[in-house]
Structure 1
Amino acid sequence: MNTKVLKKRHLVCRWLAGIIVLVVVATLAAGAYFFNVAMVPSHKSFINNSTKISRSDPLYRQKMWFKGADKQRWTMESAGGHYRLVADYLPANRTTTRNVIILHGFMGQKEKMGEYAALFHHLGYNVLMPDARAQGQSQGKYIGYGWPERYDVRKWTTKLIKRNGAASQIVIFGTSMGGATTMMTSGIRLPRQVKAFVEDCGYTSLNAELNYEAGHLYHLPKLIRGPLIAVLSGINRVRNGFFTGQASALTMLHRNHRPMLFIHGGNDRFVPTRMVYQNYAATRGPRELWIAPKAGHAASYAHYPHEYPQRIAAFLDKYIK
């Protein structure tokens, strides 16, 4: 083989090696960027976390009730003992065994769940509203999308039982990330006092949601999403304690035998409506499904302010005395 051919092959190899290095570096950098977007608590341009209440809001009355309601401040250490978690507790107007834990969505806080607190309080429940780790007033470095938080929720149930007695009946309710947390919690060992779950617009798994949002929000082609999520997952394992592929509502639902009501907006473009059918099929306990036809993400109550509480009450009355 002559010298010119060898030189040309050498140049081609160097060129290809350079491209590979650039692609790897770019993928690592992009994965680190998306880890910060997804896992690090900060302002997110695609999330509306305004707490302003408009008189035109169909749930204005419920939100204003919550704003003026007397609340007790509860605190505890997170599962694992690393962070101090904060919750609001609103006792029912009369003595009752009915209790609900209300879980908020991504980059949310308990103050954003006032309309749900009003709903359950009107149904005669004691209401506990935690701020998830790294959100609201709770401590934490990273968002867990329900995976580490499921053990925090179990600790809140234990605290509720200690406060309200062994006869307590507990419902776990959540929207969006809180809905996914509800489903993930359903698959772990829980006190017998946990009687039922209601989840509204939760995702099937963290990886499925990350893949969907990479296409929906950032318009990334499928070929790129996989490597980016893999890098993000590796960073998350080191910093946040788990691979993103572990955080699966579907896996946990396969272990659940308690009753669950699934709610999803028929026009949800943030957690696509198709996910609820997979979640519904996965659970092993008594189940009901309601698709709120015109509702977008986490907007079923606002679109159907009368039907929404009626459906929840009708479902829970079958299992809560």
Structure 2
Amino acid sequence: MKKKNLIGLGIVAPVALGISGLTAASAKLYDYAFRRVDYVPETSADKQKYADDYYNYVNWFHSVSSEQWTLHPSDLENRVEATFIHAANEQAKTTVVIAHGYKGNGETMSNYAKMFYDMGYNVLLPDDRAHGNSSGDYINFGWIDRLDFVEWTHSVINNVGEDSKIIMFGVSMGGATIQMTSGENLPPQVKLMISDCGYSDLRSELAYLLKQQFHLSPTIFVPIIDAINHHRMGFSIDDVSSVKQLRKNTRPFLFIHGEKDVYVPTYMVDECFEACPEPKDIWIVPNASHAESFWMDPKAYQAKVQQFINKYLS
């Protein structure tokens, strides 16, 4: 975030704030980061050059035949929506469940959906809580979403069949969501998991962004933001840890990360990789920024993903 955006939030230097001022500033930061927005923010400048290709994928997403699936349909506060795209081969039993990024939705993963569709798989694209067509006022950064993704795997089994094979895939916040889902009690139909540029834990990610983009002290602001989140969402940001969840993972896991990621720094994938038991693999994409690995070379990206799938999807 640029300095002008910080000024736009009405936040001044911490030394000029009293206790009440720090609390008010932290609340503004919390709302900026956690409160839902009903639009997809503009992508970063380094990925604007891929805009035409992106919208071609979005057009495909809207043209292909799909179904709408729902979790908790009668619970307005916990209703979660997803788009299911059946493979061209109606007998296909492998489904990829795709987790989107921060302030995105299922549609924003159209490029990955088409990649897996072209590989012959069914695709399920949920809208996380506080995103897209799903309910919720505050973004939970994958912590509550991970439990929804466990439910989505059971929805796949119920709709596609007990002989389903399920792959879980996510990018950015979605990558962290899949990493955190890996530590849950998943059905045996879930065969492998892939995460692209997911963070290691929310406290570290918030601290990094506060320092690098806001030029604010994490030591001052993160504890107050945590208290606000605990009051509004019922959990601590310290609970939101890919590293802790990955230690419990029992499935083959592929980690992908851009070498020049300055939004989720590359050292975070090293922490996640170290925490994850074997079998596992890691691919650091040269010169790629955050969530750019696919766009730099879609064919190479698909080949790497297909190679991992072929190795472990038996």
Compute the displacement of 1:21 (Å): 12
Other-structure match for 1:269: 262
Q: Which has the larger radius of gyration?
A: 1
CA distance in 1, matches of 2:148, 2:278: 23
Q: Structure 1 residues 20, 219: CA separation in 2 closer, same or farther (over 3 Å shift)?
A: closer
CA distance in 2, matches of 1:112, 1:46: 11
Unaligned runs of 5+ in 1: 1-18
Q: Structure 1 residues 171, 55: CA separation in 2 closer, same or farther (over 3 Å shift)?
A: closer
Residue 25 of structure 2 corresponds to residue 25 of structure 1: no
Compute the displacement of 1:163 (Å): 0.5
CA distance in 1, matches of 2:53, 2:284: 19
- 1:174-230 superposed Cα distances (whole Å, 9 cap, x missing partner): 00000000000000111111111000000000001100110121012xxx3123111
Alignment of 1:185-200 (within 5 A): 185-200=181-196
SS in 2 for 1:318: helix
CA distance in 2, matches of 1:184, 1:263: 16
- 1:60-95 superposed Cα distances (whole Å, 9 cap, x missing partner): 6544432321111111128x9841111110011111
Once the two structures are aligned, what percentage of the paired residues are identical? 37
Match of 2:236 among 243, 265, 285: 243
Residue 173 of structure 2 corresponds to residue 177 of structure 1: yes
Q: When the two structures are superposed, what TM-score results if normalisation uses the length of structure 2?
A: 0.88
Compute the displacement of 1:56 (Å): 6.8
CA distance in 2, matches of 1:64, 1:175: 20
Is the Cα contact below 8 Å between 2:40 and 2:103 reproduced in 1? no
CA distance in 1, matches of 2:94, 2:186: 17
Is the Cα contact below 8 Å between 2:40 and 2:104 reproduced in 1? no
Other-structure match for 1:315: 308
Other-structure match for 1:209: 205
Other-structure match for 1:16: none
Other-structure match for 2:6: none
SS in 2 for 1:99: strand
Match of 2:60 among 35, 50, 65: 65
Is the Cα contact below 8 Å between 2:103 and 2:131 reproduced in 1? yes
CA distance in 2, matches of 1:268, 1:92: 33
Is the Cα contact below 8 Å between 1:103 and 1:179 reproduced in 2? yes
Q: Structure 1 residues 178, 308: CA separation in 2 closer, same or farther (over 3 Å shift)?
A: same
Stretches of 4+ moved more than 6 A in 1? 43-46, 53-56
Compute the displacement of 1:47 (Å): 5.3
Q: Structure 1 residues 254, 182: CA separation in 2 closer, same or farther (over 3 Å shift)?
A: same
Is the Cα contact below 8 Å between 1:256 and 1:285 reproduced in 2? no
Unaligned runs of 5+ in 2: 1-13
Q: Structure 1 residues 55, 267: CA separation in 2 closer, same or farther (over 3 Å shift)?
A: closer
Is the Cα contact below 8 Å between 1:63 and 1:118 reproduced in 2? no
SS in 2 for 1:88: strand
Q: When the two structures are superposed, what TM-score results if normalisation uses the length of structure 1?
A: 0.86
Compute the displacement of 1:286 (Å): 0.8
Q: Structure 1 residues 47, 58: CA separation in 2 closer, same or farther (over 3 Å shift)?
A: closer
Paired residues, number: 297
Alignment of 1:1-321 (within 5 A): 23-42=18-37, 48=43, 57-58=52-53, 62-77=57-72, 82-94=77-89, 95-220=91-216, 224-321=217-314
AA aligned opposite 1:315: F
Compute the displacement of 1:22 (Å): 5.4
Q: CA RMSD in A?
A: 2.5
AA aligned opposite 2:281: E
Q: Structure 1 residues 55, 283: CA separation in 2 closer, same or farther (over 3 Å shift)?
A: closer
Is the Cα contact below 8 Å between 1:104 and 1:176 reproduced in 2? yes
Q: Structure 1 residues 43, 27: CA separation in 2 closer, same or farther (over 3 Å shift)?
A: farther
Is the Cα contact below 8 Å between 1:267 and 1:294 reproduced in 2? yes
SS in 2 for 1:317: helix
Q: Structure 1 residues 128, 213: CA separation in 2 closer, same or farther (over 3 Å shift)?
A: same
CA distance in 2, matches of 1:280, 1:319: 17
Is the Cα contact below 8 Å between 1:59 and 1:305 reproduced in 2? no
Compute the displacement of 1:255 (Å): 0.7
